[in-house]
Amino acid sequence: MKAYHPWRLPNLILVLSSLLFVQDSVVAQQYLGTVERLSPELDSLLEQDAKMEILGSGFTWTEGPVWMGGAEGHLLFSDIPRNSIFQWSQDSGIRLFMSPSGYTGVTYYGLEPGSNGLLKDLQGRLVMCEHGDRRISVLTEQGGKRTLTDNYQGKRFNSPNDAILKRNGDLYFTDPPYGLPERFTDPHREIDFCGVYRLSPDGTVTLLTKEIERPNGLAFSPDESTLYVAQSHPEHATWTSFPVQADGTLGKGHEFYDATHRVGAELGLPDGMTVDGAGNLWASGPGGIYIFSSEAKLLGRLLTGLATSNCTFGPEGWLYVTADSHVVRIKTKAVMLPATP
């Protein structure tokens, strides 16, 4: 989430600007930020000379990074205000992948109409959390989109924000109103709370909790016994862990870190996150990326100097980070989770 000045760009201008951006993306490597080391344990995850390499800039607000394919694959990420998804690969740099990505209407729809969180399903297809169309969709093999879910008990979602998939096919997702034109006070809002939900493979939607006022990013521990949820509330900027019960519902949450004291002094709020194979949590928050051990000890931070929205792992230990108008990556020594399709 972020605040923007209103603007609209015709798709033609968007495509032309993205082509110009590709030319700009092949310049010599540039870096940003610093690594803040708070524990010697961080040395097992990052080399002393690890740096954040800029892959691209000039976007409006980047989000939802996901790695598609294997070692020769590519990164996809959302630019929410542009209503677009972009692609980066080592060989081709950055190009426009999809537009529109989250809102298919023709009238103005607020400052954040596009797709937000992106992920792969068990078949390797792209799944999108769509702000403007207020749904979660999947990109079919034929190239079109199919709605996976767009309502709870007949009421339209606020604006699905981020999602994570269990190995059994259950999709867990958050639904704050950041994609609605007037957010919490939007007259078209049909659900008066911000829920964390589960979408089962049979299409059943289950409300898991509404105790987090502004849920945002989420991730599972490697064994899927714990669900982590970020709260992007400037007055209660926290991360909470929930035990996952045998039936997929959630037990009582435990708030394991509060970053409220950093809000304002550093840019950003708790947002998207990812987990490595050893259970370390890499989570965006005020200042950049927070690196927690599996025991919730803060080991260090990647200080981007930008409002940082999300991160994901790609091949060979690369961590890809979306930060404001930038996309960056840093080489880690983290153990990777088993690859998905």
- Residue 337: the pLDDT is 86
User: Integer distance in angstroms from the first to the last C-alpha of the chain?
Assistant: 29
Question: What type of residue is 25?
Answer: S
Map out the domains of the chain with their CATH numbers. 11-331 (2.120.10.30)
- Sequence-ordered list of residues with C-beta below 8 angstroms from that of 264, at least 6 positions apart, any chain: 234
Each residue of 91-127: b (16+ CB within 10 Å) or e?
eebbbbbbbbbbbeeeeebbbbbbbbbbbbbeeeebb
Q: Is residue 127 helix, strand or coil?
A: strand
Q: Give binding residues for a divalent metal cation as ranges.
A: 63, 216, 271
Q: Give binding residues for substrate as ranges.
A: 156, 161
Instruction: Output the tens digit of pLDDT for each of the chain's 341 residues.
Output: 554 333 333 333 344 344 444 434 445 789 999 999 999 999 999 999 999 999 999 999 999 999 999 889 999 999 999 999 999 999 999 999 999 999 999 999 999 999 999 999 999 999 999 999 999 999 998 889 999 999 999 999 999 999 999 999 999 999 999 999 999 999 999 999 999 999 999 999 999 999 999 999 999 999 999 999 999 999 999 999 999 999 999 999 999 999 999 999 999 999 999 999 999 999 999 999 999 999 999 999 999 999 999 999 999 999 999 999 999 999 999 998 887 66
Q: Which of 133, 162, 175, 271 is catalytic?
A: 271
Q: Side-chain half-sphere of 54: how many Cα atoms within 13 Å?
A: 21
Tell me whether residue 223 is one of the annotated catalytic residues.
Answer: no
Q: Give binding residues as ranges.
A: 63, 156, 161, 216, 271
Instruction: State how far the Cα of 187 lies from the Cα of 276, in Å rounded to an integer.
Output: 40
Dihedral, 183, 187, 188, 189 alpha carbons, nearest 10: 50
